Structure 1
């Protein structure tokens, strides 16, 4: 069986960048991806626009041309999938990695389709596939959605949006403008300061005028078939009519997979261990790249500031060989 120089888990922007750097340095590579190329971006809301400008999303100095100041989801899909085609990267799609183990100096990677051997493994799997659950009664009802794609299914419906981040604000504004009756439930005292600066005044004005209702310092405690139950900042319980719940409560890396691969997980935020100068974990020749490095602090790493991980990892691999 062929022993690869580098096997990369995840075909997101950072995984692609790692493969490009491996290819440029004549290292054999293979990307294993459980979905399509840049699968997380594919599952973003259809009309989402990035916070970053196009040049800050570029990889390998390949220009990202966008007609708008902030590129959208479709432009990003075209850009990254186009790079994968242009560079002829080795990618296996719709194949999930089940286990990574090490025997002496060689990794064995088992997937849903095959087993592979590699000298080095890079985990660039992101975090978008595992919702951060509220763990309350009724969260498993069909009307509860942890992913939001577009507003049209929610026209003329009573919608509860849980959260106050960019995804929650976008969902609240878009569904409101398509005729939904929107109520936001926010754990904190205000809309998150990280919300896109051109959107934040919009949501705050809609709340101030009463077009969108908002309960601050509040939490959802139960979801029923036709209502939801929340506790407000005074500790009082309210039950309100409801058709759909959009639980925009964030997402998490696959911590079980990281632990089973032998990676140390530390602290309340479940930070995976890695050397910030090399991105190597406590397992020799096993590396982390991209947003997975942040553990539960999923706001720490994103495309713009983790593009450098590819060079750091490949340079470390080359220095060892």
Structure 2
């Protein structure tokens, strides 16, 4: 068993920020990440541009220089990777945490590769790993994906994009401009209000001119190899279809939080319990950081407003050491 002071679960920007803060304060720590460095960012679309400006994505006051005011995915990957390597952060990659158990005044963290004993745990796992499913017949077909990477693949194809958020709008516009025949299927009456302000007019104009088809107030009823069935206000509609991008959002791993013993709110928001001044949960010496703090409201916390969690948590830990 490997012993350390602190285990940080998640190697995204906020997990990295926690590691930097622990290193500055002289704590022995290990960051455990189930994928690569900033695994969620790595799996973002290739051309994704952040809503936040580069200075708001900075951690530990390390300058983030980008070509444009709002950086793109590849620039963020370079920035966070260089922080990890330049500071020689203690990070274990491609190692998945299976369970965390409390053992008197310490924790046992069991992964698919090893076992660790520590006094403090920070959970900074994000929310990008569990897509919200449609729960319709045909969703399991190879033509259906809950993740979007590159528009080139969909050129000259009949593509259905389900959703009205930033990811769905970006995919629809990029694929349309690479030659896909795009149809959007949107549960509500309009494009999402939180879509990036410089992108929302673009998608609305493309819809109004007929370049991108849209079904508002509609849901998917069934998917098969050549068509997709849509429930619309006018009744059921069947359209020809080659591929489906179901970009309907993602869910934090609440099962993992419950297994640890973190209490969640009884409503559909599933807010985890934590002290807003210290980020400590109902379990002593176990902390939350980043987007995971928002429960189902995954838009509440993001990099720019949760960077402070690292300092808050490590300041509280140092009072106990």
Q: What is the rounded CA distance, in whole Å, between the counterparts of 1:130 and 1:59 in structure 2?
A: 26
Give secondary structure in 2 for the equivalent of 1:78: helix
**Kept after mapping to 2: 8 A contact 1:146/1:247:** yes
Q: What is the rounded CA distance, in whole Å, between the counterparts of 1:183 and 1:144 in structure 2?
A: 14
The aligned residue for residue 62 of structure 1 is 62
Q: Does residue 18 of the first structure (1) align with residue 18 of the second (2)?
A: yes
The aligned residue for residue 30 of structure 2 is 30
Q: Does residue 238 of the first structure (1) align with residue 230 of the second (2)?
A: no
Q: What is the rounded CA distance, in whole Å, between the counterparts of 2:210 and 2:33 in structure 1?
A: 44
Q: Does residue 265 of the first structure (1) align with residue 300 of the second (2)?
A: no
| Structure 1 position 2, deviation (Å) | 4.8
Q: Does residue 312 of the first structure (1) align with residue 312 of the second (2)?
A: yes
| Structure 1 position 233, deviation (Å) | 2.3
| Structure 1 position 5, deviation (Å) | 1.3
What do the CA deviations read for 1:28-73 (whole angstroms, capped 9, x no partner)? Answer: 1100000000010000000111011000000000000011121000
Scaled by the length of structure 2, the TM-score of the pair is: 0.98
After superposition, residues 1-321 of structure 1 pair within 5 angstroms as 1-234=1-234, 236-266=235-265, 267-321=267-321
Q: What is the rounded CA distance, in whole Å, between the counterparts of 2:274 and 2:238 in structure 1?
A: 46
Alignment size in residue pairs? 320
Q: What is the rounded CA distance, in whole Å, between the counterparts of 1:302 and 1:110 in structure 2?
A: 27
**Kept after mapping to 1: 8 A contact 2:159/2:183:** yes
Give secondary structure in 2 for the equivalent of 1:271: coil
Q: What is the rounded CA distance, in whole Å, between the counterparts of 2:136 and 2:48 in structure 1?
A: 29
Give secondary structure in 2 for the equivalent of 1:229: strand
| Structure 1 position 265, deviation (Å) | 1.5
Q: What is the rounded CA distance, in whole Å, between the counterparts of 2:247 and 2:119 in structure 1?
A: 39
**Kept after mapping to 1: 8 A contact 2:2/2:115:** no
Q: What is the rounded CA distance, in whole Å, between the counterparts of 2:142 and 2:102 in structure 1?
A: 41
**Kept after mapping to 2: 8 A contact 1:3/1:119:** no
Scaled by the length of structure 1, the TM-score of the pair is: 0.98
Moved over 4 A (4+): none
Q: What is the rounded CA distance, in whole Å, between the counterparts of 2:276 and 2:219 in structure 1?
A: 36
Q: What is the rounded CA distance, in whole Å, between the counterparts of 1:265 and 1:222 in structure 2?
A: 33
Give secondary structure in 1 for the equivalent of 2:183: strand
Q: What is the rounded CA distance, in whole Å, between the counterparts of 2:150 and 2:22 in structure 1?
A: 37
What do the CA deviations read for 1:70-113 (whole angstroms, capped 9, x no partner)? Answer: 10001000000000011111000000000000010110000000
